[in-house]
Structure 1
């Protein structure tokens, strides 16, 4: 029987629960492609490309198990046919099969949305929703229509109410309090231990060889070509259960803490599973809430609320910002920062212990938790004055969960404040004092976290005050920053000059730090 319908699935659309798969149609073929353009639109971490290819291949096998017709083209095959882009692959296959109808799921990246929309208009294709997110693309834009800033807390509360998450029978927050952020900033006790997380070890030599065969430039490392992330729905559900059972009980309290002793701490590390759509945000939230309700003495409310806020609040919120602001958001640079990122962001070779640890962890695991990303690598880039294009490129490439809709809004918006304050009321910047408070990084560092000037002074200190000084006109009136500027004034002109001179030296010699 000839195929009548071709349905495209992208590498981040691996949602087995989608309504498309409720019925087996022999006249419908599902297509997945490994494309050179998708592997090279930025310099990806080798584990990122590996993870997507492994997950896509496993998903194709799963669809076949369920009785669906699937055509999968590997990178070898698409390159041999000189098919670079997704639409090249679709068009070639459609013509080869003589298919009369084309359907696709709405992409989550703007560039692919444009590419597929243009192709669909040409061939009469139809776009369908991914049925993954808990909000629509334009929900946030409608909520904040006419507003100069997007307040995440308002969006979060709307999402809680709309989806009846942690709400009581009267439509009020279950405990009478919406947000437990103040209880989510605990520092780690000295005697605390970290439970081992589920690992899904597999040999990925064949993917590494494929990448090398096509001369694809990657960043990062994959030790012995072993890949450890979950790439099937069964594995992802196991990872979700592992988090709810072993780490959710301390997630909220210690979600901002950092240590050299463990990369994961009490974090979930489910973002790759969710961003490929192997897990849905609803089922992740429901699992966490169920774990809390089953044992509220072991898992206190601030733990589950902090986790729910990351998913139903922050993740959905960032997607809303993306679709409200693209494509202009990709080019905003309100602080006019223009320095290049140091090359040690790609090697980890720096004497600053916090950055060495966070960068090397990112290169080794394609993972860092949100405070490492925001207050270590992001903070340094911000106060250094790095160009947001450089910062975007690094974040988009280095993390396995980095897809532009969630990366660029966090990086160019929250972290680098290139959006002029659309997302955050103040810049997320700090001196070494914050890093020392929230981590053990400073204890074994070459630099002294207490010193602001001198050869051994922590670079974060002089850069922090330099950032405030050079952006004084912009931030001095910010109610959340007045105390910082008062502290700067109290230092006096002589100390200020010494700090600014040290900052100038740090910026000029950033490659050697």
Structure 2
């Protein structure tokens, strides 16, 4: 009997993968490959490339130990064809195989490449997710708006997580209003566990250092988990040391604490080293045993069971053009400060430096600092999308595009967000200690030294008034703007125009 090829991609490192479940260990050949096409379709952070390659090598070794035949191609092998389809063709020729079993990729780009490959490729559903495409579409069909909260409630009912019969545990579906406390310095707070590179990881680090020397981001020190056992240890650490306070401070930001009480496990979830439903069940157990409060556990589970599943549903429902939508017609180029050029804005400087060093920033740093500024400044959402996809180790298009194009940049016209996520500097001041060390004054609204977020906030509202003044959630903002006298409004708009002119000229902002 002719063998089949079983494709395992770098974000599909799960033993229960549908393609593996369908395959015959006795006769089929698992194909895994490090290829330049995947490493360069955007200029990925070197830590992300290193994580993927190291985790792939370890997963291939695990499969071999379990009795699978594995054909693994390293990036620097001479006969590497440097694309997924090219490697499948090469292995098919050598094996005499004419069929490929693949689990559906998480990016339209790869789905289409496999669909047009000169091989018979069966793309199977990715059963690692809690909601199938059909389930999400059944929920979405006929709805005027696709709000995550209501989808999340359906996922709670489906899984039974944090449910007391037909009712939500604790009497409420959502405890978000309790999860907005600013953090204070704490010398005893534990960050995520750091894993020393072993021989496999060291070899990958040397390869990435050689092949991708000019990519944005610092490769070393490298401390990510790179196999399921280590990822499990990272989850254990979070549950024991950070989950109890996660809810209270999940929106907080501090200059000298890059992780606070965050789990920093999204990179492991999105690569398949952790199972999302099992992670949620582990968190639920902490609530049931009285070691973590309901607001922390519910907020954590909502990010996985609700938001993560929801954005995947949106990505596949909206189709391949979704990442390039631009409902607000923003056309400004991404400024150099996103790549580390000098900026006098302390919040942006810290968020970008952290991104450069760690390939990580938490959701409020992404949404309300780097994303908020990009939206207020009118930056082309396609460039913002490419930046987020490039710089974060947990970024794959199915999860990154809806978060950026929809939630952060409102470029989908309101499919995900009911209003743009914009704010003045006051929100950042409330939730962080960034403003105290800034060259600008967050309390200053106009004139020399005024916080650019303050100026651009009103400029954005004024520019897009025709679209947003009828939005009930934004009516108060426009009433406040209209109560300002004409001279003050003109000073705000002139100050914002000066900020944007400096951005366009490449001057320091």
Pick the TM interval, shorter chain: over 0.9
Cα distance in 1 for residues equivalent to 2:339 and 2:131 = 36
Counterpart among 264, 277, 282 of residue 272 in structure 2? 277
Partners of 1:384 and 1:463 within 8 A in 2: yes
- Name the residue aligned to 1:166: 162
- Name the residue aligned to 2:10: 11
Cα distance in 1 for residues equivalent to 2:446 and 2:382 = 30
**SS of the residue 2:157 aligns to:** helix
- Name the residue aligned to 1:322: 315
**SS of the residue 1:76 aligns to:** coil
Cα distance in 1 for residues equivalent to 2:332 and 2:52 = 32
**SS of the residue 1:71 aligns to:** strand
Partners of 2:34 and 2:82 within 8 A in 1: no
Cα distance in 1 for residues equivalent to 2:441 and 2:235 = 40
Aligned pairs for 1:397-408 (under 5 A) are: 397-408=390-401
- Name the residue aligned to 2:287: 292
Range 451-460 or range 425-434, more displaced: 451-460
Partners of 1:250 and 1:303 within 8 A in 2: yes
- Name the residue aligned to 1:143: 139
Range 478-487 or range 314-323, more displaced: 478-487
**SS of the residue 2:76 aligns to:** helix
Change (3 A) 1:498 1:85: same
Shift, 1:213, TM fit: 4.5
Shift, 1:192, TM fit: 7.5
Once the two structures are superposed, what CA deviation does each residue of 1:264-304 show, in whole Å capped at 9, x if it has no partner? 1011111010000111110110111112212x2x4110110
- Name the residue aligned to 2:432: 439
- Name the residue aligned to 2:110: 112
Shift, 1:492, TM fit: 1.1
- Name the residue aligned to 1:45: 45
Partners of 2:6 and 2:23 within 8 A in 1: no
- Taking only aligned residues, the RMSD between alpha carbons, in angstroms, comes to 1.8
Partners of 1:380 and 1:460 within 8 A in 2: yes
Shift, 1:71, TM fit: 1.1
- Name the residue aligned to 1:465: 458
Q: TM-score, normalized by length of structure 1?
A: 0.94
Q: TM-score, normalized by length of structure 2?
A: 0.95
Matched, 1:87 2:82: no
Counterpart among 247, 255, 262 of residue 250 in structure 2? 255
Unaligned runs of 5+ in 1: none
**SS of the residue 1:7 aligns to:** strand
Once the two structures are superposed, what CA deviation does each residue of 1:90-138 show, in whole Å capped at 9, x if it has no partner? 011111121243211111111111111222xx43332223321000024
Aligned pairs for 1:456-495 (under 5 A) are: 456-495=449-488
Partners of 1:414 and 1:428 within 8 A in 2: yes
- Name the residue aligned to 1:312: 305
Counterpart among 205, 208, 213 of residue 211 in structure 1? 208
Once the two structures are superposed, what CA deviation does each residue of 1:314-341 show, in whole Å capped at 9, x if it has no partner? 0000000000112121221111111111
Matched, 1:395 2:388: yes
Shift, 1:210, TM fit: 2.5
- Name the residue aligned to 1:414: 407
**SS of the residue 1:75 aligns to:** coil
- Name the residue aligned to 1:25: 25
**SS of the residue 1:240 aligns to:** helix
Cα distance in 1 for residues equivalent to 2:341 and 2:392 = 15
Shift, 1:195, TM fit: 1.4
State how many pairs are aligned: 503
Cα distance in 1 for residues equivalent to 2:230 and 2:246 = 21
- Structure 1's consecutive aligned runs of 4 or more residues displaced over 3 angstroms after TM superposition are 21-24, 189-193, 203-206, 211-217
Change (3 A) 1:330 1:23: closer
Unaligned runs of 5+ in 2: none
Counterpart among 365, 368, 372 of residue 361 in structure 2? 368
Cα distance in 2 for residues equivalent to 1:193 and 1:341 = 38
Partners of 1:40 and 1:217 within 8 A in 2: no
Matched, 1:227 2:222: yes
Change (3 A) 1:186 1:213: closer
Cα distance in 2 for residues equivalent to 1:192 and 1:95 = 59
Partners of 1:141 and 1:321 within 8 A in 2: no
Partners of 2:244 and 2:292 within 8 A in 1: yes
Counterpart among 419, 422, 425 of residue 429 in structure 1? 422
Shift, 1:17, TM fit: 3.1
Shift, 1:196, TM fit: 3.0
Once the two structures are superposed, what CA deviation does each residue of 1:189-225 show, in whole Å capped at 9, x if it has no partner? 45574213211121655334433544675211123xx
Partners of 1:39 and 1:216 within 8 A in 2: no
Shift, 1:388, TM fit: 0.4
Range 41-50 or range 213-222, more displaced: 213-222
Shift, 1:176, TM fit: 2.1
Range 378-387 or range 142-151, more displaced: 142-151
Cα distance in 1 for residues equivalent to 2:415 and 2:340 = 33
Partners of 1:3 and 1:29 within 8 A in 2: no
Partners of 2:163 and 2:169 within 8 A in 1: yes
Once the two structures are superposed, what CA deviation does each residue of 1:368-410 show, in whole Å capped at 9, x if it has no partner? 0000000000000000100001101110000000000000100
